[in-house]
Amino acid sequence: MSRIGKQRVTVPSGVTVEVNNAARTIKASGPKGSLAYDWHESIDVTSGDDGIVCNIAESHASNRSAKAHWGTTRSRIQNMVTGVKEGYTKHLKIVGVGWNAKDQGKQIQLNIGYCHPVNLTPPAGVEFSIEKNGDIIVNGPDKHQVGQFAANIRDQRRPEPYNGKGIMYHDEIIIRKQGKVFGS
């Protein structure tokens, strides 16, 4: 039994949720934007005054994958509601001499030690900002898209363990290695 799936999703004030059981879609809209999600056919989602409830459909009660989709569906709906109300944020920092990031309109330009600058375009609904010290802040209502765009930025130059240079998350700890030792 899923412990996550049993919990209700409470809808805070300022957020409107529309559940369409015929099409198996849910739409949430709030101050940060609007999101939609299509859930799996083995899950039933109902909306009431006290929140949103996810259950396994009776026809799929003995199906193992239905139990897996149950908790996932509830978590995705909770992330939607939280995202349109508060939003999600990822902080990245660039460590390296002369390495920086620039705002080029709707693209971010990374100068990170290559012979050419790297330009990345965020997906729709995801915004970024660059602070004076070179930190990059990625934010938006969709948790998956924010995390994926931050991971795409980090993948351009992952942190390396010898000098500690690279693009890393703000709270990430890089375990440093000792370099080669010459002599006896």
Final residue of a domain: which of 85, 116, 148? 85
Model pLDDT, residue 184: 63
* Strand runs labelled E in 132-177: 136-140, 166-169
d(CA 123, CA 121): 7
Q: Please indicate, yes or no, whether residues 79 and 13 belong to a single structural domain of this protein.
A: yes
Neighbours of 143 (CB within 10 A): 19
Number of domains the chain is built from: 2
Q: Please indicate, yes or no, whether residues 160 and 92 belong to a single structural domain of this protein.
A: yes
- Is this structure's pTM higher than 0.85? yes
Q: Please indicate, yes or no, whether residues 64 and 92 belong to a single structural domain of this protein.
A: no
Q: Pinpoint the alpha helices (H) of 86-167.
A: 143-155
d(CA 26, CA 17): 7
- Give me the phi and psi of 49, to 5 degrees please: -70, -30
Domain of residue 28 covers 3-85
Kindly state whether residue 161 falls inside one of the protein's structural domains. yes
Q: Please indicate, yes or no, whether residues 38 and 106 belong to a single structural domain of this protein.
A: no
pLDDT class of 118 with cuts at 50, 70, 90: very high
d(CA 93, CA 154): 9
Model pLDDT, residue 32: 94
For residues 126 and 146, the answer to whether their CB atoms sit within 8 Å is yes
Kindly state whether residue 180 falls inside one of the protein's structural domains. no
Kindly state whether residue 96 falls inside one of the protein's structural domains. yes
What's the CATH code of the domain at 125?
Answer: 3.90.930.12
d(CA 125, CA 142): 8
Kindly state whether residue 177 falls inside one of the protein's structural domains. no
Q: Please indicate, yes or no, whether residues 105 and 57 belong to a single structural domain of this protein.
A: no
> What number is the average pLDDT over the span 130-146?
94
pLDDT class of 29 with cuts at 50, 70, 90: very high
**pLDDT of 1 higher than 60:** no
